[in-house]
Amino acid sequence: MKTLLFLSLSFFGFCFLSHAQGRDTVLLSTCNTANEVTTLTPDEKQIILLLNFVRTHPDEFLKQYLPDAADKLHEQSSAEYRSLERELRKMKPVGLLLPDEILRKAATLHAQDMGRTGRTGHTSSKGKNFETRLGTSYTDMAENCDYGYSNPILIVCHLLIDKDVSGLGHRKNILNPVYKKIGVSIQPHKKFGMNCVMDMAD
């Protein structure tokens, strides 16, 4: 099944790794599957680390990182935040996401295109839809787009909370055990300042 997904708007700067001081470095190293990838920026690598942390340690992510981010996002009283709390408490860990160069290139091209043209969505400025852009290398695919934030923890938590997104599609993509590979790109956006694209696949 190929999944088209939604958009988000977002700003702020705090560092996930600062929360991790004194924590189990082996755990963080395990989640940091993109550490040696030279084509990703430090923030893009951090997004993959965060996605892997919430997938493999959902309850710990909820306790350690989500409340601060939700406060910065002004979402602590939202129904979506409360539903995310419930979901992470009962969720069983799922597998790590591994960086994929094909997905990274697809995410980068789309983030650059949206940023340059000021557009949002999953269709390129040349009219190519999500499935066409990602090609036929994968069976199951999904895409998350986030607008307005450059900080990794806020990008991830904004998509996880998924305020006002019907069906909580971004959240479902992030936590879906079907996806094994990921490409991430953060690029400037002429309307929202920054935009992030995550492309995931089996």
What local confidence, expressed as pLDDT, does residue 101 receive?
97
Dihedral angle sign, alpha carbons of residues 177, 28, 38, 145: positive
What local confidence, expressed as pLDDT, does residue 21 receive?
52
CA 108 distance to own-chain centroid: 14
Coil, helix or strand for 122? coil
Distance from C-alpha of 45 to C-alpha of 138, rounded to nearest angstrom: 22
**Mean pLDDT, residues 11-26:** 48
Q: Which residue has the tokens 């920054």?
A: 194
pTM: 0.89
What local confidence, expressed as pLDDT, does residue 57 receive?
96
Convert the pLDDT of each residue in 82-140 to its tens digit.
999 999 999 999 999 999 999 999 999 999 999 999 999 999 999 998 888 888 788 99
Whats the size of the chain, residue-wise?
Answer: 202
Distance from C-alpha of 115 to C-alpha of 26, rounded to nearest angstrom: 36
What local confidence, expressed as pLDDT, does residue 29 receive?
81
Convert the pLDDT of each residue in 6-18 to its tens digit.
444 433 333 444 4
pLDDT band for position 24 (cuts 50, 70, 90): low
